[in-house]
Amino acid sequence: MVCNGICERVGQRDTPTAPNFHAQAAGHSPVDNVEPFDDHVAALKRVERYLTSDLGVRPEQVVAVGHRVVMGRDHDAAVLVDAEVKREIEEGAVLAPLHNPPNLLGIEAAEVMFPAAKQVAVFDTAFHTAMPLYNKSYALPKRLAEKYGIRKYGFHGTSYTWLTEQAALRLGKDVGDVNLILMHLGAGASMCVSSMYFSRRALALTRASFIVCQVLCAGREMS
């Protein structure tokens, strides 16, 4: 890894009182600055400035930009972003109003900043697409469920993918042969059963629920 970093408290009205832009690169001093970001586009522009000014990376040298997108509906893998994918992300905002809109803003900003780069969307929900129909369905009329997209989708899939692969590695097993109960705890919280019974992808209890009594408490509004 050449460098890593994070922009925090994006869109916060008050000026941050603690460093919220962090970046670290091999052979360079760490950056920990207080820098207000009005929106996600401003945050991404700061990343671009760090890459070009601090590290000497030219925009045309960036070959790909990965975007974590929360709601991907039926996508079961990462995809190259095109007009259709952007439309799907926009429509997914109905089910993930806190996440998909800024996800899309980031993609569109990156397209302008790094025009030669491939834009890749990695969906949180992709890990959970193998849930059986009986597991992801609610006891609702089929017509309503299909019309409004009401079912369990599962979130934090990128985290669960990494956890499952790391657990299999440390246990000395194939990724399809582990049975795990995984928890992603924080301001956003979820639980997941990852079991060979349902193939290598996931399965069961997540906060992706429309019924309050079935979800874990999280620090922000459910999406």
Pick the catalytic residue: 82, 124, 174, 177?
Answer: 124
Asked whether 3 and 23 are in contact (CB, 8 A), the reply is: yes
Beta bridge partners of 191: 183
* Run of H or E residues at 190: strand 190-194
Tell me the two tokens of residue 57: 């990376």
Which one, of 30, 31, 37, lies nearest residue 16 by Cα? 37
Cβ partners under 8 Å of residue 210, min gap 6: 138, 150
Per DSSP, the residues of 21-54 read EEEEETTS--EEE----SSHHHHHHHHHHIIIII
Does the annotation mark 74 as catalytic?
Answer: no
What are the b/e assignments for 56-66, b being 16+ CB within 10 Å?
ebeeeebeebe
**Cα separation of 172 and 30, whole Å?**
36
CA dihedral 52, 55, 59, 64 (to 10 degrees): -140
Report, as residue numbers or ranges, the catalytic residues.
Answer: 124
